[in-house]
Structure 1
Amino acid sequence: MIETVTRKRIEILTDKALQKRVTDAIEKAGIIGWTILPVSSGKGREGVWREESVMGTDKVFVLTIASEENAQALAEALAPMLTNFGFLLSMWDVQVIRGERFT
């Protein structure tokens, strides 16, 4: 049977213009890798929104997997931006193979 390790999967929805700030925070928290995915539309408390490159409000989804300690450090670093910029951050436990790759 393959051995797995518990890590935190972290997903962050943010404006594309702020993705560098998010990835910098990820790296500063000691997390090795991340992935950015484009987001074309969604719906939240304030209604439906769509990608809008002209207005600079297009969104991205930043995904990373990290140890509990580094995930908490990232959440603390991003907490002020969650309120100021309306980020959405979620995290939960996942099982990964080769846990040493996800610090």
Structure 2
Amino acid sequence: MSQHDPRLILLDPRDNVFVARTRLPAGEPIETGMGPAVIDRDIALAHKIARRAIAPGEKILKYGAPIGVATKAIAAGHHVHVQNMKSDYTPTYHLEDERKAGAAE
């Protein structure tokens, strides 16, 4: 297994997401440490990126702890946010505007 891209932070070895330490453009190739991947959309600073493929219904792990659940399949290198995960902490109705905006992209 190789090292992951230095533009990504792995907060805990159990995590299935990275945190972006810089903005990353759509189409940018990255190394996940489990193989190559491509960023699916522009990623903002501090947003989550899938470290590996995540199945629908699978828990999203950050800091080694579950923070939400995947609502659909998420490929390695893809943005993990309201368009494909449900938070364990933030009520869904607070995120509805963001979710609708993500669907329009």
TM range (shorter): under 0.3
- Point out which structure has higher relative CO (alpha carbons under 8 A, 6+ apart): 1
* TM-score normalised according to structure 1 size: 0.26
* TM-score normalised according to structure 2 size: 0.26
Give the structure with the larger strand fraction: 1
Give the structure with the larger helix fraction: 1
